[in-house]
Amino acid sequence: MGQKREVFLCHASEEKNDVIRPIATALKKDGITYWLDEAEIKVGDSLTEKIGSAIEKTDFVGVVIGDVRAERAQPLKVRISYSYIVRNILL
């Protein structure tokens, strides 16, 4: 835990099997470390804190916007996440 990762994989959970896991497999094959929620977030953890901390410790953020994510507009969650990043990481 606390290990630096090269890529943070941001995605809709519904796209994990078809899109994210193959990307993660390819990254691992190429020796690239990644942060994936299912391996890092445990029951009872604060999602905002875990994700914010993970983004802070990664070199790149890979945002996958597939059909599911594009159809689900979540402006409030985006504002909350952006606010956390600005307040706790950028400032």
- Tell me the domain boundaries of the chain: 5-90
Please determine, for residue 11, whether its predicted confidence score (pLDDT) is greater than 60.
Answer: yes
Architecture of domain 5-90: 3-Layer(aba) Sandwich (3.40)
How far CA 11 is from CA of 2, 23, 91, in Å, comes to: 21, 11, 25
**Whole-prediction pTM:** 0.63
pLDDT of 85 above 70: no
Average pLDDT over every residue of 59-81: 63
Q: What is the mean pLDDT of residues 50-77?
A: 72
Q: What is d(CA 78, CA 40) in angstroms, rounded to the nearest whole number?
A: 21
DSSP string, the chain: ----EEEEEE--GGGIIIIIHHHHHHHHHTT--EE-HHHH--TT--HHHHHHHHHHTEEEEEE---HHHHHS--HHHHHHHHHHHIIIII-
Instruction: Examine the pLDDT at 42 and tell me if it is beyond 60.
Output: yes
12-18 average pLDDT score: 81
pLDDT greater than 60 at residue 73: no
Phi, psi of 12 (to 5 degrees): -85, 135
What is the Cα gyration radius of the chain?
13
CA distance 20 to 62: 10
